[in-house]
Chains A and B, each alone.
Chain A
Amino acid sequence: MKREDSTLLTKYGKNPGFKVPENYFEDFNKRMADMLPEVEITPVDVKPTMWQRVRPLIYMAAMFAGVWCMMTVFSHFTATGNLDGVHAVAEKLNDDKGNVDEFIMSGAVSDYDIMNYEDSVMMSNEESSEDNNY
Protein backbone atom coordinates (compact mmCIF):
# COMPACT_ATOMS: atom_id res chain seq x y z
CA MET A 1 0.00 0.00 0.00
CA LYS A 2 1.32 3.42 -0.91
CA ARG A 3 2.23 5.59 2.08
CA GLU A 4 0.36 8.88 2.28
CA ASP A 5 3.66 10.70 2.77
CA SER A 6 5.44 8.96 -0.12
CA THR A 7 5.41 12.12 -2.27
CA LEU A 8 7.17 14.11 0.46
CA LEU A 9 9.60 11.28 1.19
CA THR A 10 10.56 10.97 -2.47
CA LYS A 11 11.02 14.69 -2.96
CA TYR A 12 12.50 15.80 0.40
CA GLY A 13 13.80 12.65 2.07
CA LYS A 14 14.28 12.36 5.79
CA ASN A 15 17.30 14.54 6.34
CA PRO A 16 16.13 17.99 7.39
CA GLY A 17 19.61 19.43 6.85
CA PHE A 18 20.36 20.03 10.52
CA LYS A 19 23.84 19.30 11.82
CA VAL A 20 25.65 19.50 15.14
CA PRO A 21 29.22 20.45 16.11
CA GLU A 22 31.78 17.67 16.02
CA ASN A 23 31.65 15.35 19.09
CA TYR A 24 28.62 17.29 20.27
CA PHE A 25 26.85 14.31 21.85
CA GLU A 26 29.96 12.94 23.61
CA ASP A 27 30.67 16.40 25.04
CA PHE A 28 27.04 16.99 25.94
CA ASN A 29 26.74 13.64 27.76
CA LYS A 30 29.80 14.37 29.86
CA ARG A 31 28.83 17.98 30.57
CA MET A 32 25.28 16.97 31.47
CA ALA A 33 26.37 14.21 33.85
CA ASP A 34 28.70 16.66 35.61
CA MET A 35 26.05 19.32 36.15
CA LEU A 36 23.46 17.08 37.81
CA PRO A 37 22.64 18.38 41.30
CA GLU A 38 22.36 16.15 44.36
CA VAL A 39 18.99 14.44 44.69
CA GLU A 40 17.47 12.39 47.45
CA ILE A 41 16.14 9.04 46.26
CA THR A 42 13.37 7.41 48.24
CA PRO A 43 13.86 3.65 48.22
CA VAL A 44 11.09 1.93 46.30
CA ASP A 45 8.60 0.23 48.60
CA VAL A 46 8.86 -3.41 47.63
CA LYS A 47 6.17 -4.58 50.08
CA PRO A 48 3.75 -6.67 47.98
CA THR A 49 0.08 -5.76 47.90
CA MET A 50 -2.58 -8.00 49.43
CA TRP A 51 -3.63 -9.24 45.97
CA GLN A 52 -0.02 -10.06 45.06
CA ARG A 53 0.27 -12.10 48.27
CA VAL A 54 -2.98 -14.08 47.93
CA ARG A 55 -2.89 -14.48 44.14
CA PRO A 56 -0.86 -17.75 44.09
CA LEU A 57 -3.18 -19.29 46.71
CA ILE A 58 -6.29 -18.30 44.75
CA TYR A 59 -4.84 -19.65 41.51
CA MET A 60 -3.97 -22.93 43.24
CA ALA A 61 -7.46 -23.20 44.80
CA ALA A 62 -9.04 -22.55 41.38
CA MET A 63 -6.87 -25.24 39.82
CA PHE A 64 -7.84 -27.81 42.48
CA ALA A 65 -11.52 -26.89 42.09
CA GLY A 66 -11.23 -27.42 38.33
CA VAL A 67 -9.58 -30.81 38.79
CA TRP A 68 -12.22 -31.82 41.35
CA CYS A 69 -15.03 -30.83 38.94
CA MET A 70 -13.48 -32.80 36.11
CA MET A 71 -13.04 -35.84 38.36
CA THR A 72 -16.67 -35.64 39.55
CA VAL A 73 -18.04 -35.37 36.01
CA PHE A 74 -15.78 -38.18 34.82
CA SER A 75 -16.75 -40.49 37.69
CA HIS A 76 -20.45 -39.69 37.12
CA PHE A 77 -20.26 -40.77 33.47
CA THR A 78 -18.18 -43.80 34.33
CA ALA A 79 -20.78 -44.90 36.90
CA THR A 80 -23.91 -44.29 34.79
CA GLY A 81 -22.50 -45.52 31.49
CA ASN A 82 -23.41 -43.69 28.32
CA LEU A 83 -25.89 -40.83 28.01
CA ASP A 84 -29.32 -41.60 29.28
CA GLY A 85 -31.23 -42.08 26.05
CA VAL A 86 -34.54 -40.84 27.39
CA HIS A 87 -33.04 -37.56 28.54
CA ALA A 88 -31.07 -37.20 25.34
CA VAL A 89 -34.21 -37.51 23.21
CA ALA A 90 -36.08 -35.10 25.47
CA GLU A 91 -33.30 -32.61 25.21
CA LYS A 92 -33.21 -32.90 21.45
CA LEU A 93 -36.97 -32.48 21.11
CA ASN A 94 -36.87 -29.35 23.26
CA ASP A 95 -34.11 -27.93 21.17
CA ASP A 96 -35.63 -25.98 18.25
CA LYS A 97 -32.38 -25.97 16.34
CA GLY A 98 -31.88 -29.68 16.57
CA ASN A 99 -32.90 -32.24 14.04
CA VAL A 100 -34.25 -35.18 15.99
CA ASP A 101 -34.37 -37.49 12.97
CA GLU A 102 -30.70 -36.94 12.35
CA PHE A 103 -30.01 -37.59 16.01
CA ILE A 104 -31.92 -40.86 15.95
CA MET A 105 -30.41 -41.94 12.63
CA SER A 106 -26.92 -41.33 13.97
CA GLY A 107 -27.55 -44.16 16.42
CA ALA A 108 -27.11 -42.06 19.52
CA VAL A 109 -30.36 -43.53 20.91
CA SER A 110 -31.96 -46.89 20.48
CA ASP A 111 -35.61 -47.70 19.62
CA TYR A 112 -35.98 -48.82 23.22
CA ASP A 113 -34.96 -45.33 24.43
CA ILE A 114 -37.57 -43.75 22.15
CA MET A 115 -40.29 -46.09 23.39
CA ASN A 116 -39.31 -45.32 26.98
CA TYR A 117 -39.45 -41.61 26.19
CA GLU A 118 -42.90 -41.89 24.59
CA ASP A 119 -44.14 -43.89 27.60
CA SER A 120 -42.80 -41.29 30.02
CA VAL A 121 -44.45 -38.50 28.03
CA MET A 122 -47.79 -40.37 27.97
CA MET A 123 -47.58 -41.00 31.70
CA SER A 124 -46.84 -37.40 32.48
CA ASN A 125 -49.72 -36.29 30.21
CA GLU A 126 -52.11 -38.65 32.00
CA GLU A 127 -50.93 -37.36 35.36
CA SER A 128 -51.39 -33.75 34.34
CA SER A 129 -54.89 -34.43 32.93
CA GLU A 130 -55.82 -36.17 36.21
CA ASP A 131 -54.51 -33.13 38.07
CA ASN A 132 -56.61 -30.89 35.88
CA ASN A 133 -59.71 -32.99 36.58
CA TYR A 134 -59.29 -32.39 40.25
Chain B
Amino acid sequence: MAAREKYDEAQVIEQLHNQATCRAAFGKVIEHYSSQLYWQIRRMVIDHDDANDVLQNTFLKAWTNIDNFRGDAKLSTWLYKIAINESITFVNKKKVMNQLSIDDDESFLVNQLESDEWFDGDQAQINLQKAIAALPEKQRLVFNLRYYDEMKYDEMSEILGTSEGALKASYHHAVKKIEQYLGERE
Protein backbone atom coordinates (compact mmCIF):
# COMPACT_ATOMS: atom_id res chain seq x y z
CA MET B 1 0.00 0.00 0.00
CA ALA B 2 1.36 3.43 -0.92
CA ALA B 3 2.29 5.65 2.00
CA ARG B 4 -0.37 8.29 2.64
CA GLU B 5 0.73 11.76 1.55
CA LYS B 6 1.16 14.23 4.40
CA TYR B 7 -1.84 16.52 4.72
CA ASP B 8 -0.94 20.22 4.56
CA GLU B 9 -4.10 22.24 5.11
CA ALA B 10 -2.72 25.58 3.84
CA GLN B 11 -1.52 23.94 0.67
CA VAL B 12 -4.80 22.06 0.21
CA ILE B 13 -6.82 25.28 0.59
CA GLU B 14 -4.63 26.95 -2.04
CA GLN B 15 -5.14 24.00 -4.39
CA LEU B 16 -8.90 24.07 -3.77
CA HIS B 17 -9.05 27.50 -5.37
CA ASN B 18 -7.32 26.43 -8.52
CA GLN B 19 -9.49 24.83 -11.22
CA ALA B 20 -6.68 22.48 -12.24
CA THR B 21 -5.97 21.13 -8.74
CA CYS B 22 -9.27 21.51 -6.86
CA ARG B 23 -10.62 18.02 -7.50
CA ALA B 24 -7.47 16.26 -6.32
CA ALA B 25 -7.28 18.62 -3.34
CA PHE B 26 -10.85 17.84 -2.35
CA GLY B 27 -9.97 14.15 -2.55
CA LYS B 28 -7.36 14.85 0.13
CA VAL B 29 -9.99 16.68 2.20
CA ILE B 30 -12.32 13.68 1.98
CA GLU B 31 -9.52 11.32 2.97
CA HIS B 32 -8.50 13.50 5.90
CA TYR B 33 -11.94 14.32 7.33
CA SER B 34 -14.25 11.44 6.38
CA SER B 35 -13.61 9.42 9.52
CA GLN B 36 -13.98 12.21 12.10
CA LEU B 37 -17.05 13.64 10.37
CA TYR B 38 -18.58 10.18 10.05
CA TRP B 39 -18.35 9.51 13.80
CA GLN B 40 -19.81 12.90 14.63
CA ILE B 41 -22.70 12.27 12.22
CA ARG B 42 -23.15 8.66 13.39
CA ARG B 43 -23.55 9.79 16.99
CA MET B 44 -26.30 12.16 15.81
CA VAL B 45 -28.22 9.85 13.47
CA ILE B 46 -27.21 6.53 15.15
CA ASP B 47 -27.82 4.27 12.13
CA HIS B 48 -24.80 3.46 9.90
CA ASP B 49 -26.65 3.73 6.56
CA ASP B 50 -28.13 7.06 7.59
CA ALA B 51 -24.69 8.28 8.68
CA ASN B 52 -23.27 7.21 5.32
CA ASP B 53 -25.95 9.21 3.46
CA VAL B 54 -25.47 12.29 5.63
CA LEU B 55 -21.68 12.12 5.25
CA GLN B 56 -22.09 11.90 1.48
CA ASN B 57 -24.43 14.92 1.48
CA THR B 58 -21.97 16.81 3.68
CA PHE B 59 -19.10 16.37 1.22
CA LEU B 60 -21.33 17.09 -1.78
CA LYS B 61 -22.53 20.30 -0.17
CA ALA B 62 -18.98 21.30 0.72
CA TRP B 63 -17.78 20.55 -2.81
CA THR B 64 -20.54 22.49 -4.56
CA ASN B 65 -19.93 25.45 -2.23
CA ILE B 66 -16.15 25.24 -2.25
CA ASP B 67 -15.99 28.54 -4.11
CA ASN B 68 -17.58 30.23 -1.08
CA PHE B 69 -14.93 28.91 1.27
CA ARG B 70 -12.28 31.62 1.41
CA GLY B 71 -10.17 30.25 4.23
CA ASP B 72 -11.39 32.81 6.79
CA ALA B 73 -12.34 29.93 9.13
CA LYS B 74 -10.59 26.59 9.52
CA LEU B 75 -11.62 23.99 6.96
CA SER B 76 -12.52 21.59 9.78
CA THR B 77 -14.84 24.20 11.35
CA TRP B 78 -16.57 24.76 8.03
CA LEU B 79 -16.99 21.01 7.40
CA TYR B 80 -18.25 20.34 10.94
CA LYS B 81 -20.82 23.12 10.50
CA ILE B 82 -22.09 21.54 7.30
CA ALA B 83 -22.09 18.05 8.84
CA ILE B 84 -24.04 19.23 11.89
CA ASN B 85 -26.59 21.11 9.78
CA GLU B 86 -27.03 18.10 7.52
CA SER B 87 -27.46 15.80 10.55
CA ILE B 88 -30.07 18.06 12.13
CA THR B 89 -31.96 18.37 8.82
CA PHE B 90 -31.85 14.59 8.39
CA VAL B 91 -33.11 13.87 11.92
CA ASN B 92 -35.95 16.39 11.52
CA LYS B 93 -36.97 14.79 8.20
CA LYS B 94 -36.93 11.39 9.86
CA LYS B 95 -39.13 12.72 12.66
CA VAL B 96 -41.67 13.89 10.08
CA MET B 97 -41.51 10.48 8.37
CA ASN B 98 -42.18 8.84 11.74
CA GLN B 99 -45.06 11.28 12.36
CA LEU B 100 -43.30 12.87 15.29
CA SER B 101 -43.16 16.54 16.21
CA ILE B 102 -39.94 18.47 15.52
CA ASP B 103 -39.91 19.27 19.27
CA ASP B 104 -39.87 15.58 20.26
CA ASP B 105 -36.54 14.21 21.40
CA GLU B 106 -34.47 11.78 19.36
CA SER B 107 -35.13 8.66 21.47
CA PHE B 108 -36.83 7.02 18.48
CA LEU B 109 -33.42 6.81 16.76
CA VAL B 110 -32.06 4.52 19.48
CA ASN B 111 -35.03 2.10 19.51
CA GLN B 112 -33.61 -0.06 16.71
CA LEU B 113 -30.07 -0.05 18.13
CA GLU B 114 -30.27 -3.55 19.67
CA SER B 115 -31.02 -5.14 16.30
CA ASP B 116 -28.52 -2.96 14.37
CA GLU B 117 -25.84 -5.12 12.74
CA TRP B 118 -23.35 -2.24 13.01
CA PHE B 119 -23.70 -1.93 16.76
CA ASP B 120 -21.83 -4.20 19.13
CA GLY B 121 -22.26 -2.32 22.40
CA ASP B 122 -23.80 -3.80 25.53
CA GLN B 123 -26.98 -2.79 27.38
CA ALA B 124 -25.07 -0.09 29.28
CA GLN B 125 -24.07 1.55 25.97
CA ILE B 126 -27.67 1.37 24.73
CA ASN B 127 -28.82 3.06 27.93
CA LEU B 128 -26.18 5.77 27.51
CA GLN B 129 -27.27 6.37 23.90
CA LYS B 130 -30.90 6.59 25.05
CA ALA B 131 -29.91 9.12 27.71
CA ILE B 132 -28.02 11.20 25.13
CA ALA B 133 -30.93 10.98 22.67
CA ALA B 134 -33.28 12.35 25.35
CA LEU B 135 -31.26 15.58 25.60
CA PRO B 136 -32.32 18.76 23.81
CA GLU B 137 -30.64 19.05 20.40
CA LYS B 138 -27.99 21.63 21.36
CA GLN B 139 -27.00 19.82 24.57
CA ARG B 140 -26.80 16.58 22.63
CA LEU B 141 -24.45 18.16 20.10
CA VAL B 142 -22.27 19.72 22.80
CA PHE B 143 -22.16 16.48 24.76
CA ASN B 144 -21.11 14.42 21.72
CA LEU B 145 -18.43 16.89 20.64
CA ARG B 146 -16.97 17.20 24.13
CA TYR B 147 -17.38 13.71 25.57
CA TYR B 148 -16.38 11.64 22.53
CA ASP B 149 -14.20 14.03 20.50
CA GLU B 150 -12.81 16.05 23.44
CA MET B 151 -13.26 19.13 21.29
CA LYS B 152 -12.06 22.36 22.88
CA TYR B 153 -14.75 24.88 23.79
CA ASP B 154 -13.24 27.64 21.62
CA GLU B 155 -13.42 25.42 18.54
CA MET B 156 -16.93 24.29 19.46
CA SER B 157 -17.88 27.94 19.88
CA GLU B 158 -16.83 28.66 16.28
CA ILE B 159 -18.77 25.69 14.94
CA LEU B 160 -21.97 26.22 16.91
CA GLY B 161 -21.87 30.02 17.09
CA THR B 162 -22.39 29.97 20.87
CA SER B 163 -20.24 31.53 23.60
CA GLU B 164 -17.77 29.31 25.45
CA GLY B 165 -19.54 30.04 28.75
CA ALA B 166 -22.88 28.89 27.36
CA LEU B 167 -21.27 25.74 25.95
CA LYS B 168 -19.68 24.89 29.31
CA ALA B 169 -23.05 25.36 30.99
CA SER B 170 -24.71 23.19 28.29
CA TYR B 171 -22.18 20.41 28.85
CA HIS B 172 -22.61 20.60 32.61
CA HIS B 173 -26.41 20.33 32.28
CA ALA B 174 -26.10 17.50 29.75
CA VAL B 175 -23.85 15.46 32.07
CA LYS B 176 -26.22 16.00 35.01
CA LYS B 177 -29.29 15.02 32.95
CA ILE B 178 -27.59 11.88 31.62
CA GLU B 179 -26.50 10.86 35.12
CA GLN B 180 -30.01 11.42 36.40
CA TYR B 181 -31.57 9.49 33.46
CA LEU B 182 -29.23 6.54 34.01
CA GLY B 183 -29.60 6.70 37.79
CA GLU B 184 -33.38 6.42 37.52
CA ARG B 185 -33.09 3.29 35.37
CA GLU B 186 -30.48 1.39 37.36
The residues of A with any CB-CB pair to B shorter than 8 Å are: 4-5, 7-9, 11-12, 14-21, 25, 28-29, 32-33, 35-37, 39-44
Contacts and interface: CB of A to CB of B under 8 A. Distances in A.
Contacts, number: 100
Contact of B118 (A8, A12, A21, A33): A21
Contacts of A20: 38, 48, 118
B104 interface: no
Contacts of A42: 67
B42 A18 contact: yes
A18 B170 CA distance: 25
A30 to B, nearest CB: 9
Interface of B: 16-19, 22-23, 26-27, 30-31, 34-35, 38-39, 42-43, 48, 52, 55-56, 59-60, 63-64, 66-67, 70, 118-122, 124-126, 128-129, 146-148, 171-172, 175, 178-179
A12 B38 contact: no
Given A17-B121, A32-B56, A36-B23, A4 B175 contact: yes
B147 A32 contact: no
Contacts of A19: 118-120
A25 B34 contact: yes
A34 to B, nearest CB: 10
B60 to A, nearest CB: 7
Contact of B18 (A11, A25, A41): A41
B121 A32 contact: no
Given A39-B67, A41-B18, A29 B31 contact: yes
B1 to A, nearest CB: 10
6 contacts: A8-B147, A16-B148, A28-B38, A33-B26, A33-B27, A43-B17
B43 to A, nearest CB: 7
Contacts of A21: 48, 118
